[in-house]
Structure 1
Amino acid sequence: MEKTGCVVVGGGPAGMMLGLLLARAGVQVTVLEKHDDFFRDFRGDTVHASTIRLIDELGLGEEFRRLPQSRLSNVSIPVPGGPPVTMGNFDSLPPPYNYVAMMPQWDFLNFLADAAAQEPSFSLRMGHKATSLVRNGGRVTGVRYRTADGAGGEIRADVVVATDGRHSALRASAGLAPKEYPVPFDTWWFRLPRLASERGEIAGIMPVFGRGEALLALNRTDYFQMGYLAPKGTDARIRAEGVEGFRRRVAALRPDLADRVDAIASLEDLHWLDVRLERLRHWHINGLLCIGDAAHAMSPAGGVGINLAIQDAVAAAECLAPALLRGQVSRADLAKVERRRRTPTVIVQTVQRVMHRLLFEPIMTGTRAGAPAIMLFVARHLPAVGRVLPRFVAFGPRPEHAPAFARRAEARPGPHPSPRPLLRRCPLAAPKGHLRSNG
């Protein structure tokens, strides 16, 4: 019978970060990822300032900045007959955390996996799909899994952490059902080429709003990552129009990109996202904790889902590592994580619900074809709001710092440094000498 300290199910940003942090504490941790690699397109690819700061605290900043990436500097809204209105300018934040990094998620996950592999207590198993929970009495004691070749097995653990996304098999196995909130749109992701004359280090987001549709363009090194938004439930109708119909939709919204819509070769190039906004009423049962999208699926509005999940992972590592080293994880330990991260989650989801109601719902129903006048007025005449918004997006409410046991100096040639002493409690306030500024 296999046994480990913690089984993390799901090798996304939250799962890989949690595995890295627990391993640096000396906890035996095994991450199960159902795919054979991380290469899947059109996942969330933003790394916000709170996460970049965390990476620096882990001593991985130099290596992270060597990864191919572009920098998101602002979010602007086009206005007919006039210049675009900037809703948020990240340059207003104190450097070096005055931008959002844009990179393929597989590069970021491989980066975390390489860092975690340096820790002797870390194990990553690709092609291992968790199928159900193992229970002993009233407690979860492990997971059952199936490998890519169809073989099955079990891993027992002191605690199981589900980071397996909004379609979490483990939360379903635990009988945990989320509360859902209405979402007025779904998203279709695709790529368009970016000309050499359009390239540069600085990236931006330029949304365009029509009646019943919207289009986002996120600048990448040599392509635009495009997001087409249409009313929820219209996927079958859009696909029935065929690829030519979809190309016409894109060209009508962005005539300047009409010369390259043929890059959408077929409908297979469209990646449909069934957008959800939901939150578990309870994130844990005895022996199981859900974090990230498994606990609270986020709308793409604001692009904050990945970074909120990573903050969950940091809080979980700091709260659970001492108990895991003792080999005794209680429900109270799991409850600490939920208490610490529930309020930031509620705040972000409330903001997203307001955005849905005021911005996206009128557009999707066709009652308005552009940004609300009040939004443009605020952006033009209330500069204080323009400073608050970038800070909220870049750091979010209650950003987490790296636990003391996980911090390293920047990597240097020579032996890998040993972990620092482990904190003995889950601090709801900052420990002495440990900074907890919001940026």
Structure 2
Amino acid sequence: METTGCVVVGGGPAGMMLGLLLARAGVQVTVLEKHADFLRDFRGDTVHPSTIRLIDELGLGQEFRRLPQSRLRSVVFPVPGGPPVTMGDFDSLRPPYNYIAMMPQWDFLNFLAAAAAEEPGFTLLMNHTATGLVRDGGRVRGVRFRTPDGTQDELRADLVVATDGRHSALRAAVGLAPKEFPVPFDTWWFRLPRYPAERGEVAGLVPAFGPGEALVALSRNDYYQMGYLAPKGTDARIRAEGVDGFRRRIAGLRPDLEDRVDAIRSLDDLHWLDVRLDRLQSWHINGLLCIGDAAHAMSPAGGVGINLAIQDAVAAAEILAPALLRGRVTAADLRRVERRRRLPTVVVQTGQRLMHRAVFGPIMAGKRTKFPAAALFLARRIPAVRRIIPRFIAFGPRPEHAPAFARRAEARPQPHA
């Protein structure tokens, strides 16, 4: 049985960022990731300016910008019979944080893993599945886990942090139940090709609406990332229509893409997301803290999920690193993390609930087939609206900065001898 300062369960954005930051503070930290690699598609591919700024503060900006990515600069809503309306213009933000970076999440996680691996106190165990918690005297003292060969083992720690997502096994194990909020839709993600003549500067995010359905297109360098939205609970009915039925749905919403819907070869090309919006009443018990989706599942509206999770990780690292270095993390320390991040979470989730109620709910119910006219009018007539929306999406209500202990000077290219 081994010991560490902190064990982080879940190698997603929050878990990897927390591991990197704590390791830079000098904490012995181990991240357990149940998969053998990070290669899973459609897992929050948007890296917002708040995260890009954090990466710069960590001294990793040049390497990050070398990763394959496209830049989302606007959110555009089509208007039947008229010119499209730009609801959010990220170019209005101050450079260099005036865009959202679009990249496969596995590239981003591999990037964080490589940076963390340079720290002597960091350990990443892939294909290691947490199966339970070690408890002693009413306190969580570590985790039980299964190794790649099926062996059961334990890892003792001063603190366990659950970053294992919206279906967190650890929060369920200790009886932390979330409060759930109604969500009117689920999402089916898939790709369509983007032809060479359509390449160039990425246009942005473009939605389309129909009675009881919607479609979101995110332009990537060589393909469109598509999100089809339909009323919650309709997955079985949609799949019963078969792939031809699904293709007709997409062509009906975007006739200009009808020439490529055959790229959806089968229903296996669809990645269904059971959209949830929930929040734990308490994010911790003695010795265990939940952050990210394990503490608050987010709707895809606004694409803020991974960035809010990363903000949680930054706050947790800054508050908890001194206690971990002392070898004693108290319940008061964990409460400080929750207090700091609860209000931003509530604000963002309230915004998402308002969007569900005002936009997606009526569309999914078949009562509306377009974005609210009042919102389009305000965006068209009042330039400040086009600046406020991207600012909120880009940075959120309480953006975090890298702790002083985690900052590094940006590596500069060396001149040739």
Q: TM-score range by the shorter chain?
A: over 0.9
1:110 aligns with 2:110: yes
1:15-30 paired onto structure 2 within 5 Å: 15-30=15-30
Matched, 1:280 2:259: no
Alignment of 1:312-331 (within 5 A): 312-331=312-331
Answering whether residue 63 of structure 2 is matched by residue 63 of structure 1, we say: yes
Identify the residue that residue 196 of structure 1 maps to in structure 2: 196
- Displacement after TM superposition at 1:203 (Å): 4.2
Runs ≥4 residues deviating over 6 A: none
CA distance in 1, matches of 2:30, 2:155: 9
Aligned residues of 2:202 and 2:220 also touching (Cα < 8 A)? no
| SS of equivalent to 1:42 | coil
Output the TM-score relative to the length of structure 2.
Answer: 0.98
Please give the residue correspondences for 1:240-319 in structure 2 after superposition, counting only pairs within 5 Å: 240-319=240-319
The yes-or-no answer on 1:50 pairing with 2:33 is: no
Query: For residues 378 and 129 of structure 2, what CA distance do their matches in structure 1 show?
Result: 48
TM superposition shift of 1:315: 0.1
TM-score with structure 1 setting the length: 0.93
AA paired with 2:109? L
> How far did 1:412 drift?
4.7
How far does the alpha carbon of each residue in 1:86-105 deviate from its partner, in whole angstroms, 9 at most, with x for none? 10000000000000000000
Runs of 5+ consecutive residues of structure 1 not aligned to the other structure: 415-439
Instruction: After superposition, give the CA deviation of every residue in 1:319-358 in whole Å (9 maximum; x if it has no partner).
Output: 0000000001000011110000000000000000000000
Q: CA RMSD in A?
A: 0.9
How far residue 81 of structure 1 moved from its aligned partner, in angstroms, is 0.6
In structure 2, the CA distance between the partners of 1:203 and 1:68, relative to structure 1 (3 Å rule), is: farther
Please list, as runs of the form range in 1=range in 2, the aligned pairs for 1:223-238 lying within 5 A after superposition.
223-238=223-238
Offset, 1:112: 0.2
The letter for the 2-side match of 1:301 is: A
Measure, in 1, the Cα distance between the counterparts of 2:151 and 2:252. Answer: 50
Q: What displacement does 1:381 show?
A: 1.6
Q: Displacement, 1:148?
A: 3.0
Number of residue pairs aligned between Structure 1 and Structure 2? 414
362-371 vs 381-390, which moves further: 381-390
CA distance in 2 between counterparts of 1:100 and 1:400 reads 17
The answer on whether the counterparts of 1:70 and 1:203 sit within 8 Å (CA) in structure 2 is no
Q: Structure 2: which amino acid aligns with 1:391?
A: R
Match of 2:2 in 1: 2
Kindly indicate whether residue 389 of structure 2 is the aligned counterpart of residue 378 of structure 1: no
The yes-or-no answer on 1:11 pairing with 2:11 is: yes
Question: Would you say the 8 A contact 1:23–1:119 is kept in 2?
Answer: yes
Taking only the aligned residue pairs, the percentage that are identical comes to 80
What is the Cα deviation at residue 411 of structure 1? 2.3
The residue aligned with 1:410 is 410
Q: Are 2:165 and 1:158 equivalent residues in the alignment?
A: no
> Unaligned stretches of 5+ in structure 2?
none
SS of the aligned residue for 1:176 comes to coil
In 1, the alpha carbon distance for the partners of 2:300 and 2:147 equals 31
What is the aligned partner in structure 2 of residue 367 from structure 1? Answer: 367
- 1:101 corresponds in structure 2 to 101
CA distance, structure 2, for counterparts of residue 69 and residue 256 of structure 1: 25
Deviates more, 1:64-73 or 1:143-152: 143-152
* 2:342 counterpart of 1:342: yes
Match of 1:431 in 2: none
